[in-house]
Amino acid sequence: MWQWLVACLTALPAGDLMGQERVGVSVPLVNIDGSFGLTAAPGFGMEVSVEIVEGKTPELTATRLTFSNQDDERRIAALEGVPRGPIEGARALAFECWLDAKYNSLRDTWGPAPSIAALFFENDGGTWYQILKASGTGPFGPSEFRIPLRGTFNRALFASDTDAAIRWEQVERVWLGVVDDGPLKGAFEVRRVRFTDEPFHPTSAVWIDNKWEVSQDPAVRSELSLSEGDGAPVAYFEFEIPGGRHMYAMIRTPVDVSELDAYRGLRFGTVLTELPEGIDGLLVMLIEKDGSQYRAVSAPRASREQKTVTISFSEFERGSWSKDENDRLDLDQVNLVAIGMHGTTPKAAKGTIVVIDPQFIP
């Protein structure tokens, strides 16, 4: 089984609420006997040992996993725990961790930090996982990690159930650990591992992937180029539309932010942007998974000068051409951002839209 597990653990391409909410769910991850602290999961080719580090209170008890891999195979070293009670109503699995790993243990040198893996085992044989990127090199911590339960999880190849998605009411075991291609040695320490309904309070922006694609009327001719300008992603979209009838031309990119409702709005830069005569401003949209389209009410004006556009989520409303069962923007359903134009011009015309460094801001 472990060969399948290691093979499937492939690294994946890794906001501001006002006021305070009462935390109604806080279910710690504990040892199978109910005590604080976790145990070592099977080593899968790594040498591992576990040390319990007592805290000022039982809840602050930490578990330190020391690991060593001397070959070039992908390995995982993990800690295992069980929820101490039902996790219904939880929003996320949260934990603090430290990671101190030498990437090449043969030469005892630092390298890119390995990834952190979280695996969830259901009582009917289902197994799901998520890879968390540990940024930087060398040791880090303590760092607070948060895995939203409504995020995207990957089904393990050896899972034996038939569910299309993870079922949290069936989760009975959790692994937290380190996965990487060896040689690797180091230590991974966690504490305060808990399922919680604590709201997310982001302190920095989250960047939107520079994976823009064109969406346009078949009569439109266009060209899109993507680049990195001074470290910031840039999308350069040129188009030509026929005149006399309604046209649309836009670019759109996927959104993979699990707790988007914790953020305040959308921000991006523009420069050298020109729209055809008769088009008042940019069409900026958030699109839900069911295709419902919500546009920014105040269309940002095109400008050749460099400027920053900031649009609060409260400024988006359903487009008159779109339908939605609940007629409400559901931020947890948003999977696309689109920027472009629509409307009618008296004659054929060209335009240019440049989008720089799009992000969701707290």
165 and 48 within one domain: yes
Strand partners, 226: 235
Contact 175, 41 (CB under 8 A): yes
220 and 263 within one domain: yes
Q: Tell me the CA distances in angstroms from 216 to 63, 201, 285, 297, one per residue in order.
A: 54, 37, 14, 21
Written as six digits, the tokens of 88 are 């219904």
140 and 16 within one domain: yes
Specify if 283 maps to a domain.
yes
264 and 352 within one domain: yes
Specify if 341 maps to a domain.
yes
Contact 254, 148 (CB under 8 A): no
Which among 161, 196, 231 is the end of a domain? 196
168 and 89 within one domain: yes
User: How confident is the model at residue 111, as a pLDDT?
Assistant: 53
230 and 355 within one domain: yes
User: How confident is the model at residue 160, as a pLDDT?
Assistant: 93
244 and 166 within one domain: no
Written as six digits, the tokens of 352 are 């240019």
239 and 187 within one domain: no
Specify if 302 maps to a domain.
yes
In this structure, what is the dihedral angle of CA atoms 83, 86, 90, 95, given to the nearest 10 degrees?
-10
Write the CATH number for 296: 2.60.120.430
In this structure, what is the dihedral angle of CA atoms 353, 356, 359, 362, given to the nearest 10 degrees?
-110
Cα–Cα–Cα angle for 328, 334, 338, rounded to 5 degrees: 105
Specify if 132 maps to a domain.
yes
Q: Tell me the CA distances in angstroms from 268 to 29, 210, 257, one per residue in order.
A: 40, 12, 17
Please state the φ and ψ torsions of residue 125, each to the nearest 5 degrees.
100, -5
282 and 163 within one domain: no
User: How confident is the model at residue 108, as a pLDDT?
Assistant: 54
What is the helix, strand, coil percentage profile of the chain, to 5? 5, 50, 45
Written as six digits, the tokens of 293 are 């389209």
User: How confident is the model at residue 307, as a pLDDT?
Assistant: 95
* Other CB atoms within 10 A of residue 170 CB: 15
Q: Which pLDDT tens digits describe the chain residue by residue (362 residues)?
A: 444 444 444 333 333 333 344 447 899 999 999 999 999 998 677 889 999 999 999 889 999 999 888 777 778 899 999 999 999 999 999 999 998 876 555 555 555 567 889 999 999 999 999 988 665 445 566 788 899 998 889 999 999 999 999 999 999 999 999 887 767 788 999 999 999 999 999 989 999 999 999 999 999 999 999 998 777 999 999 999 999 999 999 999 999 888 999 999 999 999 999 999 999 899 999 999 999 999 999 989 999 999 999 999 999 999 999 999 999 999 999 999 999 999 999 999 999 999 999 999 99
Specify if 201 maps to a domain.
no
216 and 158 within one domain: no
Number of domains in the chain: 2
Which among 139, 174, 196 is the end of a domain? 196
Q: Report the alpha-carbon distance of residue 119 to residue 260 in Å, rounded.
A: 23
213 and 183 within one domain: no
132 and 276 within one domain: no
Question: What is the DSSP code (8-state) at residue 341?
Answer: E
Instruction: Name the nearest CA neighbour of 94 among 191, 8, 4, 180.
Output: 191
Full domain range(s) for residue 87 = 2-196
Indicate whether this model's pTM tops 0.75. no
Specify if 48 maps to a domain.
yes
Instruction: Name the nearest CA neighbour of 358 among 286, 269, 287.
Output: 269
Which among 171, 196, 221 is the end of a domain? 196
